[in-house]
Structure 1
Amino acid sequence: MHLSQLIISASFLAAVALAAPLDSRGSSTSPANAKVTLATAFTSGAGNKEPNATISVGIGKGADTYTCYTGGWQSFPSSSKWVSFDAMWNKSTTYLKESCANTGAFSSGDSSAQIDNMYNSILSVASASFVDPRFIYATILQESSGCVNIDTSKNPDPSQPDNPGLMQSVAGVEFVGNSASASAQASSIRQMIVDGTQGTAKGDGLVQCINQYGNIYEAARCYNSGQVNKSNLNDAEGATPSYVTDIANRMTGWLDAPQKFNSCRK
């Protein structure tokens, strides 16, 4: 059984889907230093050897609308239509302060220090992994609304690992807690992003999915479902149908507009 959950944020009605557990996503053998290596990933935009270049490069703020996408990955927005990392980030910083509302997590949202740690960690892990930082952040928003205190998703199969942390990774770390020291919180936030991006000993991260598929859209379906129907990325394979379309919209500026995936299928 695939584990999925819908989290509705107080500040916008967006689907936040939890990643698939180990039985779907598979085992990552050497996640600690995992990097994007597939050549096609660097032409599609999924891989980026100079992630700092995306901080200001993009189409500006994009459009805060929700657009329906169907079919294979080439039917989804190309990297030339993505917003810059800073545009994506700056648009959502106020939202992050309310990100835990209605998620069942402790506290209403992230502190200023936690938000700063998240920003720095995304860019640091992007540099180490060669994953475009916009894709990392879009996945964080999708999986946890950016709430560092997000609850761990418990796998209904006790023989399979749970999905903790900002990216709901496979058997990774969960946040150390608001009462921990500033340095411990910073380290914990970075490790949550490492686990989701570079994978864990028990499951793949974005790197492994990108190296298998070469683009962020099939990689997103891989991360959420484990299995990928290349001709229909809205085929959830037992997980969350809207996941890839949500990611596509996040990459092009969606934040506050209503999530209307159900209307896409009418």
Structure 2
Amino acid sequence: MGFTPYSGPASAFPPSSTWKTFDEIFNANKAEMLQTGDTESDVSHIHTAVLQAAKEIGVEERVIFCIIMQESTGNVGVGTTIDNGQKPTGGLMQAEESPAFPGQHNLPQSDITAMVMAGTKHFKGNLEQEGDADNAVTIYEALRLYNSGRIDKRNLSNPEGATASYVSDIANRLQGRTN
């Protein structure tokens, strides 16, 4: 089943009541993570790291995990990229502050946790910029900022120099859909 395209303001995106549980979303994506070269241990460490980051930083665990799937398909050995501000980004959440381990798998929990914590802290900054409310509207707007650094609140699919479908794709992932 393909992704449903969403666009417009955050209010046009699916409400959080339609989101699946963290375990449902995580389990639906396990096979895709393993296809990247991740080991069962890597996948288990991602699960642990997401729950830890959610608790310590105060970001919804489903959102953290869906950012991971959108940014790196859960590949702990994903390479670094250059963001639209011309800064290197790396790790599971492709964040500027994140350590990266290109081409490596079977990483220790500490390395995977460091990647997830860095990306979650970055996202938390975007969330705080939008008011830090724990609701779908604020989360969707913060996702646009996370991806592009800028936001057109009238249309979250306006890429602002980044990926047009980014917020829409994560909205689909939150509902348990996979590529």
Work out whether the TM-score is over 0.5: yes
Percent identity between matched residues is 36
| TM-score, scaled to structure 1 | 0.61
Q: How does 1:124-203 map to 2 (within 5 A)?
A: 124-154=52-82, 160-175=86-101, 177-178=104-105, 185-198=108-121
2:27 is aligned with 1:69: no
Render the CA deviation track for 1:56-76: whole Å, top value 9, x for unaligned.
Answer: xxxxxxxx5421212110110
Between Structure 1 and Structure 2, the one with more helix by share is 2
Q: Is the partner of 1:232 in helix, strand or coil?
A: coil
Match of 1:40 in 2: none
Render the CA deviation track for 1:234-266: whole Å, top value 9, x for unaligned.
Answer: 00111110101001100111104xxxxxxxxxx
Following the alignment from structure 2 to structure 1, what is the Cα–Cα distance between the partners of residues 105 and 15? Answer: 38
Render the CA deviation track for 1:203-253: whole Å, top value 9, x for unaligned.
Answer: xx1101111114111011000010100000000111110101001100111
Select which of 7, 24, 30 maps to 1:93.
30
Match of 1:208 in 2: 125
| Structure 1 spans left out of the alignment, 5+ residues | 1-63, 101-108, 199-204, 257-266
| Structure 2 spans left out of the alignment, 5+ residues | none
Q: 1:88 to 1:155 in 2, by over 3 A?
A: closer
Contact 1:138 1:251 in 2 (8 A): yes
Q: Is the partner of 1:246 in helix, strand or coil?
A: helix
Which consecutive aligned stretches of 4+ in structure 1 deviate over 4 angstroms post-superposition? none
Greater Cα radius of gyration, structure 1 or 2: 1
Q: 1:155 to 1:68 in 2, by over 3 A?
A: closer
| TM-score, scaled to structure 2 | 0.90
Following the alignment from structure 1 to structure 2, what is the Cα–Cα distance between the partners of residues 112 and 81? Answer: 29
